[in-house]
């Protein structure tokens, strides 16, 4: 391999790489300012944990619904157009929190989340393969991992915002206490709580508008966007003849399901098992994200010396081990084990993504859509976990601890994909 092929980011692509990478923290922010609200909405609007987890169904359902239209849009136009459309829909969904908060109904919030994540779907479907294209294929996975490493910084800002702007300012009144209030007092309290929920989304909409203008004015290379033909069926047929690709889609579905379940229900775990307040529990959620950030940079370094598939296998095995710790260890040790799972999840998404898309060329535009559609795992699995938690006890386990058998199964699937990666696909 010559030195040119080992270059991570060619100088001519540095500016478009930077502008595209700036987008990565924004979907981390949207996801992690939202996760704690799965626990907050049930008591604010007097709904069940299952209903509260429908936030994740709407949130990640938007990824699934818009990924394929986004891929077709990008193939017809360009990666830049896809990024701009993503920013537009993201900002629109965020601004929908203004009318949603005035209705005091759960449905409008679900619509706002859905529109917002249609934007995120456009962004990820555009930005991920675009980063892969900005340099030699031999360094594509490392390049994507480097961009993805900045995503958790947005996640940390989102989590801190959720803690300091939302959770600390919400009333501690339970759903039962709220139902005993007079109609006027109930409405006043609920409107006050929803105003704090609305605030971060409206603020991020303003930032997105500024970023939209900057990228719209910038010149981004379209060297991978020349093909205008939408040969969708032949492309899909080619993709699903590649075991590496379709097994990667399956692995991504289960990984995202595991990630969203672990991060969404850390607060439930800390509140139910250790009696923490929501704001204090969010501190442990933030700790998990800090672990995730540091682990991602460390694991990206290890990719210089170990194949992506083998590293993915080791990380999945670690995720399985720590998930069992969250289930079987009581008290703070179980919580620490739950936090440690984030170290193992740090590199899974971009590594699965890079392995699955390796060597598929122009088909990456449609192929990327399949991998983004696999984010549906984050939509389907949290409601199942929420339904288990509503049971309160399962066998001899508390329902919250028993529910973590679901992410354990997900990590098993990821481990199998990692194993096949270096044994069958020879990564």
Q: What is the DSSP string of 40-55?
A: HHHHHHT--HHHHTHH
| Beta-bridge partners for 398 | 393
- Cα(340)–Cα(336) distance, integer angstroms: 6
What band does 341 get if pLDDT is binned at 50, 70 and 90? Answer: very high
Cα-based distances in Å from 298 to 29, 227, 307, 341, 427: 22, 37, 14, 15, 20
- Cα(13)–Cα(9) distance, integer angstroms: 7
Residue that wins the pLDDT comparison between 190 and 49: 190
Whether pLDDT at 364 is above 80: no
Cβ atoms of 94 and 35 within 8 Å: the answer is no
End-to-end alpha-carbon separation of the chain, Å? 16
Whether pLDDT at 170 is above 90: no
**Structure token pair of residue 265:** 């229900």
Alpha helices in 140-182 (DSSP H): 140-148, 151-161, 175-179
Cβ atoms of 295 and 180 within 8 Å: the answer is no
Instruction: Provide the pLDDT for residue 6.
Output: 67
Whether pLDDT at 393 is above 90: no
Instruction: Provide the pLDDT for residue 54.
Output: 86
Cβ atoms of 33 and 159 within 8 Å: the answer is yes
Cβ atoms of 409 and 388 within 8 Å: the answer is no
Mean local confidence (pLDDT), 221-250: 74
Give the residue from 331, 329, 328, 325 showing the smallest Cα distance to 276: 331
Instruction: Provide the pLDDT for residue 5.
Output: 52
Phi, psi of 20 (to 5 degrees): -70, -40
Which of 75-79, 80-84, 113-117 shows the lowest mean pLDDT across its residues? 75-79
- Cα(137)–Cα(363) distance, integer angstroms: 14
Mean local confidence (pLDDT), 36-59: 83
Give the residue from 247, 256, 258 showing the smallest Cα distance to 409: 258
Rg of the chain's alpha carbons, rounded to an integer? 21
List all residues 6 or more positions away from 9 whose beta carbon is below 8 Å from its beta carbon: 17, 134, 135, 143
- Cα(21)–Cα(74) distance, integer angstroms: 18
Cβ burial, residue 53 (10 Å; 0-12/13-18/19+): buried
Instruction: Tell me the average pLDDT of the chain.
Output: 85
Interval 261-316: pLDDT, tens: 998 889 889 988 998 888 888 889 889 988 988 898 888 888 888 888 999 999 99
DSSP label of 397: E
Cβ atoms of 60 and 349 within 8 Å: the answer is no
399: Cα separation from own chain's centroid:
25
**Structure token pair of residue 213:** 């203008």
Instruction: Provide the pLDDT for residue 1.
Output: 44
* CB-CB neighbours of 311 under 10 Å: 22
* CB-CB neighbours of 181 under 10 Å: 14
- Cα(24)–Cα(15) distance, integer angstroms: 15
- Cα(274)–Cα(289) distance, integer angstroms: 20
Concatenate the DSSP letters of all residues of 275-326 into one string.
---HHHHHHHHHHHHHHHHHHHHHHHHHTTTS-HHHHHHHHHHHHHHHHHHH
**Structure token pair of residue 19:** 């502008």
Mean local confidence (pLDDT), 219-237: 66
Q: Give percent above pLDDT 70 in the chain.
A: 94
Residue that wins the pLDDT comparison between 311 and 35: 311
Cβ atoms of 61 and 376 within 8 Å: the answer is yes
What band does 426 get if pLDDT is binned at 50, 70 and 90? Answer: low
Q: Give percent above pLDDT 90 in the chain.
A: 29
Backbone CA torsion sign across 49, 171, 267, 109: positive
Mean local confidence (pLDDT), 207-230: 75
Alpha helices in 162-265 (DSSP H): 175-179, 183-217, 232-239, 243-264
- Cα(20)–Cα(83) distance, integer angstroms: 8
């Amino acid at each position: 391999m010559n030195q040119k092929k080992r270059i991570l980011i060619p100088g001519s692509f540095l500016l478009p790489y930077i502008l595209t990478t700036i987008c990565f923290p924004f979907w981390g922010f949207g996801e992690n300012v939202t996760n704690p609200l799965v626990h907050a909405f049930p008591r604010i609007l007097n709904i069940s944990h299952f209903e509260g987890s429908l936030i994740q169904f709407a949130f990640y359902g938007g990824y699934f619904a818009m990924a394929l239209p986004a891929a077709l849009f990008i193939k017809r136009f360009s990666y830049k157009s896809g990024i701009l459309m993503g920013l537009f829909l993201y900002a629109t969904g965020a601004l929908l929190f203004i009318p949603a908060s005035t209705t005091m109904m759960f449905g409008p919030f679900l619509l706002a989340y859905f529109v917002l994540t249609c934007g995120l779907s456009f962004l990820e479907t555009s930005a991920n393969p675009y980063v892969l294209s900005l340099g030699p294929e031999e360094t594509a996975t490392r390049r994507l991992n480097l961009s993805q490493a900045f995503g958790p910084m947005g996640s940390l800002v989102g989590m801190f915002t959720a803690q300091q702007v939302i959770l600390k300012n919400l009333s501690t009144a339970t759903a039962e206490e709220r139902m005993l209030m007079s109609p006027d007092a109930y409405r006043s309290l609920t409107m006050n709580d929803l105003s704090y929920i609305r605030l971060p989304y409206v603020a991020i909409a303003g930032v997105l508008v500024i970023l939209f203008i900057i990228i719209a004015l910038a010149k981004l290379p379209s060297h991978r966007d020349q093909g205008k033909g939408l040969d969708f069926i032949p492309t899909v047929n080619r993709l699903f003849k590649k075991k590496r690709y379709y097994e990667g889609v399956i692995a991504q579905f289960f990984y995202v399901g595991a990630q969203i379940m672990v991060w969404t229900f850390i607060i439930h775990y800390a509140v139910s098992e250790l009696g923490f307040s929501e704001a204090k529990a969010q501190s442990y959620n933030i700790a998990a994200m800090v672990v995730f950030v540091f682990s991602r940079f460390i694991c990206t370094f290890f990719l210089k010396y170990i194949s992506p598939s083998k590293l993915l296998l080791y990380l999945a095995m670690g995720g399985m081990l720590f998930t069992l710790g969250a289930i079987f260890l009581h008290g703070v040790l179980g919580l620490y084990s739950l936090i440690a799972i984030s170290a193992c999840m740090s590199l899974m998404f971009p590594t699965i993504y890079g392995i699955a898309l390796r060597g598929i060329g122009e088909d990456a535009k449609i192929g990327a859509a399949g991998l983004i559609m696999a984010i549906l795992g984050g939509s389907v699995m949290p409601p199942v976990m929420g339904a288990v938690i509503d049971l309160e006890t399962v066998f001899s386990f508390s329902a919250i601890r028993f529910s973590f058998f679901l992410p354990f199964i997900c990590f098993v699937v990821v481990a199998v994909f990692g194993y096949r990666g270096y044994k069958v696909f020879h990564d």
